[in-house]
Every structure is written in C-alpha cells, then in structure tokens.
Amino acid sequence: MKVIKFGGTSVGTAQKLKDAAAIINSYQQKDKVIVVISAIGGITNKLISAIDEAVHGSNKYSEIFWEITTVHHNYIDELFAADKRESVKSEVDSTLARLKEKLDGVRLLHHAAPKIIDQIISFGELLSQKILAEYLKSDGLNAVVYNAADFIKTDSNFGDANINFEITNEKVRIVFIGQKRNEIAVVNGFTGSNKYGDITTLGRSGSDYTATIIGAALKVDSVDIWTDVDGILNADPRLVPSAETIDEISYEQTIELSNLGAKVIFPKSLLPVKAENIPVKVLNSFNPDFAGTTITDETQNTSKDVLVVTSLDNVSIVTISNLPLYNSLEVVSRIYNLLSSAQLNVVSTNFNHHLRVLSLIINQKDLDKTINLIESEFQFVPESDFIKNIEIRNDAGIVSLLLNNSANVRQIINSASSSLSDLNISYRFINNFGSNTVQLAVKNSDIGKIVSNLHGVFFGTNQKANVA
C-alpha cells in the first residue's frame, strides 16, 4: 500500500489534474493507494483574502467567492463530457453554497474567530477532492471520498492543530483496514477535527502532514509527495539554474534543510514516518518518470563534503551584549527556554561566553514578540542592564552549507572564504554548535551572489565569472 499526495501546483490547471489522475491510475494497477489532495493552486490564498474582506465589511469578499466558483466550474467544463458536467457542478455547488454561508456570516459579524477561519479555508481541499474523485470515476476507476476530519483528531489549536496520535492512528486503521484492492481512497489534506467535531487545520505543509500521518498509521511501503520540482535540489534553482537533484537524504538532514530555509517538507510532516522508518519520496508530477529524492532513516554515503547550499532571507539578527558576569549561562538558558515556550522558531544561535554576547537569528515576523518577551522577563531582575544593550539588524539573510558527517569543517570554511574574497561583499561565519552546517550571516541583497558562488565551489560549476 502507498499514500500519494498532490500539492496545489500539481493540480494547478485542469490538464495538470488530468496528469495527476494518470499517475494515480499507474499506482492503482500495482498497489492499494490512498490519495491526499491539496486545494487547487491559489485557492487557499483567495479564501484567506475573502475572509479579510468580509471582516472589514467589504463586498469584495463576494467577488472573490465568485472567482473561486469560476475556477472550479472551468475545471469541470474542461475535465468532463457534456452529459456529466451538470451533475458534477451540482455537487460542487452544494459545497460552494456552504462556503458562501460562512463568508456571509463573517461579513454580518465583521469578525472571524479562529474556528471559523479554519472551517472556511478547509473548503479548498473539499472542492478539489470532489472534482478529482469524480474525474477518476468518469475514467472508470473506483474512487471513494474520505473526509480527513472523521479520522485525524487534533486539539483546538486552530490554524496549527496538534495531532492526538493515539486516537488518530486507531481511527485511520479502522477506516482503511477494509479498503479493497481496486479502491482509490481520495482524502482531503490539511484538515482534522477536535473532540467536539470542529474543523481544524494542520498548519504549514498540512497536506504533506495528512499523508505522513495516514502512512505511518498504516505502515505503508512509502509516502510519495508529488510536487513541481525533481525532488530535493542541492540549491534553489531560482538562484542556481544548474542545481541538481539529491538522490537520497536522511530524515535528519531534511529537517535541518527545512529549518535553514530550503523549500522541502516541513519538519513536523516527517516525524510520523520517521518513527516508523517509512521512506518518503519527493517526485515531480510534471516529470513523472524521474526518480526524484528518497528520504530515509540513514545518512547516505557520499564523496561530497557539502550536500546542499541553501538560504533564508528576511531574518533579524538580535545581539545581546554585556550579559551578567557571574551567571551569563543561566541567563542564556532562560532566554532559550522562554523563546521555546512561546514556540518561536530560532533559526540559529551563537553565544560567546568570553565576551558575554548572545546572538539570535530569528524570522523578522517574530522580532517584536521576541524583544518584548526578553524585556518583560528580565526587566525586574538584578544586573539586568544587558537588556539595554539589545542591537537589531533587519537587512539580514543566512546562507548555509549542509555538510556530510565526515566533512572537515575548517577546510570547508577556508574554501568558502577564499572564493568569497573575490566578490567584495561583507559576511560573517556563525558558530552554530550541535548543527552539521556552516552558516554565514549576509545582507539580503547578497544572498543570490553568495549561493551561486558557493554552489560553484562545492559542486564543480563555479560561476564567479557569471556573477561578475
């Protein structure tokens, strides 16, 4: 048995949905298959915009609703024969009518509680699920719709709900234990429900998470994530057109990459399959014959010291100097615990015990909350003058090299320094202890040049001449 997931770009047009259906058919000929589907590309953003307009009393929310309706009607017109279109539109329109009622309610109240927001944005997956299932049926396949809210059970942390795995795993097994050999289960991604039956959403990469939750509960052969690139690449192809696919990578390395800014599977999506040692394949629905990348439990042996060059833009570097002389370690530990408790993602940290300086690299969107938390925590503490010495740099980015476990870090740093010296740009290395990476703090505007240069150094396609 396999779980396969299609992202929004993989069903971003009617033709792409047809291509996805062909891929599903090829699986069904060999295995039992469960398909997890995202909303059609762009629909979730439209739903969020509609909520915002309705909250502010603007009638534009209704225009956005009709845009959403038109997108799905156009899909139906292109996918189905004339004698089938009206029946499919009727089913889709019943779902759209429920969506319109929710938006009208938000407009009336000028307010959208988190519970209502989750209900509304979950409609994107319900609509794409219905169209895909009906298209598979029209092609002679035995497609059966399953609502993820019936078996993925969460807490009430709307927008980024936490899974109750004990209940969820049992329900998933009960639902799918009797799946027939020729049945294609079509599941809406991104969605769960709490103990009261309220719809919840699973946060970033929520549909990937749906797929790995189901896959781990059923101990499937693999979870295959179909996207719009040839797997995980050794650099961002927008910055390095010559970037190449990594054949195999470990769970831990993939999680590290995601934390460093690479557009791969979000870390929490890997946790269920990692616990069961189930491979995850990242595949390209626009190039289905390509092998893609396999994520497994083992770090692969490779002759390359650097596995990936990645970057993260729009970060803030918070430098706290003049920490207390006698208990600086205790203060640093309290800051770490404080930010962790607030669920703030710290990209990187660097503590110089000798100079009593702590540097935190965080996403810019978390800056104000981070500063407020630190100042509130220490404002009444003796020897708290250090909170007056918080410096902030906002035009920053991070370029990171993910290393092979056997790599010589000092040699990597020397090679990078030697190559970057010709670019006449400013940067500094960050000591990210406990991480198998080399990181550089740079200006946002220099990220592209630095990534391109370092990719050339470590992957044999030095592009310094092109940069110049």
**pLDDT in the model for residue 107:** 96
**pLDDT in the model for residue 433:** 57
Check which CATH number belongs to the domain holding 446 and give it. 3.30.2130.10
Q: Model confidence at 468, in pLDDT bands (50, 70, 90)? A: very low
> Does the residue 246 lie in any domain?
no
> Does the residue 453 lie in any domain?
yes
Check which CATH number belongs to the domain holding 56 and give it. 3.40.1160.10
Q: Quick one: 113 and 206 in the same domain?
A: yes
Q: Quick one: 216 and 338 in the same domain?
A: no
- Of the residues 176, 207, 228, the one at which a domain ends: 228
Q: Taking the CA of residue 198 as centre, how many other CA atoms within 13 Å lie in the half-sphere pointing to its CB?
A: 17
> Does the residue 73 lie in any domain?
yes
**pLDDT in the model for residue 351:** 84
CA distance linking residue 288 with residue 290, whole number of Å: 6
**pLDDT in the model for residue 408:** 83
pLDDT, tens digit (0-9, with 9 covering 90-100), for 318-330? 998 888 877 888 8
Q: Quick one: 224 and 322 in the same domain?
A: no
* CA-to-CA dists, residue 448 to 111, 159, 348, 443, angstroms: 41, 33, 20, 10
**pLDDT in the model for residue 299:** 63
pLDDT, tens digit (0-9, with 9 covering 90-100), for 401-411? 998 877 788 89
More confident site: 308 or 468: 308
Q: Quick one: 79 and 220 in the same domain?
A: yes
Q: Quick one: 55 and 198 in the same domain?
A: yes
**pLDDT in the model for residue 464:** 42
Please compute the mean of the pLDDT values over residues 32-37 and round it to a whole number: 97
More confident site: 186 or 323: 186
More confident site: 432 or 336: 336
CA distance linking residue 438 with residue 400, whole number of Å: 6
More confident site: 220 or 262: 220
> Does the residue 70 lie in any domain?
yes
Please compute the mean of the pLDDT values over residues 1-24 and round it to a whole number: 96
Domain containing 57 equals 2-228
pLDDT, tens digit (0-9, with 9 covering 90-100), for 39-69? 999 999 999 999 999 999 999 999 999 999 9
Please compute the mean of the pLDDT values over residues 183-209 and round it to a whole number: 95
**pLDDT in the model for residue 36:** 98
**pLDDT in the model for residue 466:** 37
Q: Quick one: 223 and 327 in the same domain?
A: no
**pLDDT in the model for residue 300:** 61
**pLDDT in the model for residue 25:** 96
Q: Model confidence at 383, in pLDDT bands (50, 70, 90)? A: low
DSSP H helices, 305-446, are 328-341, 367-378, 409-420
Q: Quick one: 115 and 223 in the same domain?
A: yes
CA distance linking residue 274 with residue 126, whole number of Å: 28
Residue 159 has pLDDT above 90, yes or no: yes
pLDDT, tens digit (0-9, with 9 covering 90-100), for 106-158? 999 999 999 999 999 999 999 999 999 999 999 999 999 999 999 999 999 99
Residue 395: Cβ within 10 Å count: 15
> Does the residue 423 lie in any domain?
yes
Burial of 181 (0-12, 13-18, 19+ CB in 10 A): exposed
More confident site: 267 or 116: 116
Share the mean pLDDT of the chain: 91
SS3 297: coil
Residue 168 has pLDDT above 50, yes or no: yes
**pLDDT in the model for residue 376:** 87
- Of the residues 192, 213, 228, the one at which a domain ends: 228
More confident site: 263 or 452: 452
Question: 125: which 2 tokens?
Answer: 């997956």
Residue 355 has pLDDT above 90, yes or no: no
> Does the residue 302 lie in any domain?
no
CB 7 within 8 A of CB 207: yes
Q: What percent of the chain has pLDDT over 70?
A: 96
Q: Quick one: 174 and 322 in the same domain?
A: no
Q: Quick one: 332 and 218 in the same domain?
A: no
> Does the residue 297 lie in any domain?
no
Radius of gyration over alpha carbons of the chain, in Å?
24
Q: Quick one: 114 and 203 in the same domain?
A: yes
More confident site: 238 or 259: 238
Q: Quick one: 311 and 440 in the same domain?
A: yes
pLDDT, tens digit (0-9, with 9 covering 90-100), for 388-397? 778 888 888 9
More confident site: 301 or 137: 137
Domain count, the chain: 2
**pLDDT in the model for residue 432:** 62
**pLDDT in the model for residue 461:** 57
More confident site: 335 or 99: 99
- At residue 80, what is the residue type? F
Q: Quick one: 186 and 326 in the same domain?
A: no
More confident site: 168 or 395: 168
**pLDDT in the model for residue 169:** 98
> Does the residue 237 lie in any domain?
no
Residue 288 has pLDDT above 90, yes or no: yes
- Of the residues 202, 228, 254, the one at which a domain ends: 228
CA distance linking residue 265 with residue 212, whole number of Å: 11
Q: Which of these, 267, 244, 271, lies nearest to 256 by C-alpha position?
A: 267
